[in-house]
Amino acid sequence: MSLSYVFYSLLLKILQITPYKALFILGAWLSFILYVVPNKHKNISLANLKHVFPTKDKKEISLLLKESLFHSSMAFLESGLVWGKKLNKNKINFIELVNFQSVKKSLELRQGVLLFTPHLGNIEVLINHLGATTNCTVPFTRPKNKSLDRIMRASRNRSGVNMVDTNVAGIKQMLLALKEGDVVAIASDQVPKKGAGLLSKFFNQECLSMTLLPKLQQKTDCSVHLMYCERKPNGEGFIIHFGNKIDLSEDLQEGVDKMNCEFEKCIMKIPGQYSWEYKKFKNTESRYIY
């Protein structure tokens, strides 16, 4: 057992036993440090916010940056709760569902359901819910740290989801799951490798975007729904939103454009909760530099 595995396990145990509302206080302090001390998370978030909101003034950008750093800090601090399965399940309305009945209706068709989400709120909360309520397959990019990979994979498997790698074998498993009438859930705002994906607009800015969603729908005729997680204020819990069924399969470019458009709509409802520290505009011909 490596020292890094022991360290991550101990850290998660500490976060798991910390009262959730106390995590909000820790999150405020951690995000304040990230805001005042130079670091890559702040730099990338600031660059992205200026890029997608060119008409906002310095004060507005600064406020969004502070909110984003806080919610990113909370996603880290909540890891003990979501991976330790301590999401206050007995507390009334700690996790609220909006329009999940639409997904249930699609599941009744037995043609498979493809759910997609941006990195908004805390996607681990989504994974926990789907693992408890559906037969769900989730593609997973392994972190470079092997100890963290081991902990994350074990936790997600315990939640009831089937984790697959983001390779050819993983895609085959996703296709099989959809053809069997089950659920596949993808955080599809990630940037594909150079030479893959299609150029599309994200907040009117060029970005390389995944084509996996429309391709999976074309091959399986599955139902597609947007979902996203919203963090409630003051440690009150989460709201999981599910959209109505949409079609992404008629044309590959139109499908990718529509996917990004759906992302924009839900992000603009809670822009401070989006993970702006991700290099969303890399791998484009515009050579956007972070």
Write out the residue range of the structural domain in which residue 197 sits: 3-273
Structure tokens at 225: 């729904």
Cβ density class 94-113: b for 16+ within 10 Å, e for less: ebeeeebeebeebbeeeebb
* 254 falls within a domain: yes
The number of folded domains in the chain is: 1
* 207 falls within a domain: yes
* 140 falls within a domain: yes
What residues contact residue 207 under an 8 Å CB cut-off, 6+ apart? 191, 199, 200, 201, 260, 280, 281, 284
Residue 288's pLDDT is 61
CA gap 30, 74 in Å, rounded? 9
* 289 falls within a domain: no
* 287 falls within a domain: no
How crowded is residue 14: how many other Cβ atoms within 10 Å of its Cβ?
10
Q: What is the pLDDT of residues 172-222, one digit of tens each?
A: 999 999 999 999 999 999 999 877 899 999 999 999 999 999 999 999 999
- CA trace torsion 119, 125, 128, 133 (10° rounding): -90
CA gap 264, 226 in Å, rounded? 12
Residue 67's pLDDT is 97
Residue 178's pLDDT is 97
* 150 falls within a domain: yes
How crowded is residue 167: how many other Cβ atoms within 10 Å of its Cβ?
9
Residue 154's pLDDT is 78
Residue 253's pLDDT is 96
* 70 falls within a domain: yes
* 100 falls within a domain: yes
CA gap 132, 226 in Å, rounded? 19
Residue 2's pLDDT is 76
- Digit-by-digit pLDDT tens for the chain (290 residues) are 678 778 778 888 888 888 888 999 999 999 999 999 999 999 999 999 999 999 999 999 999 999 999 999 999 999 888 877 666 555 678 899 999 999 999 999 999 999 999 999 999 999 999 999 999 999 988 777 777 778 777 777 787 899 998 899 999 999 999 999 999 999 999 999 877 899 999 999 999 999 999 999 999 999 999 999 999 998 899 999 999 999 998 899 999 999 999 999 999 999 999 999 999 998 776 556 56
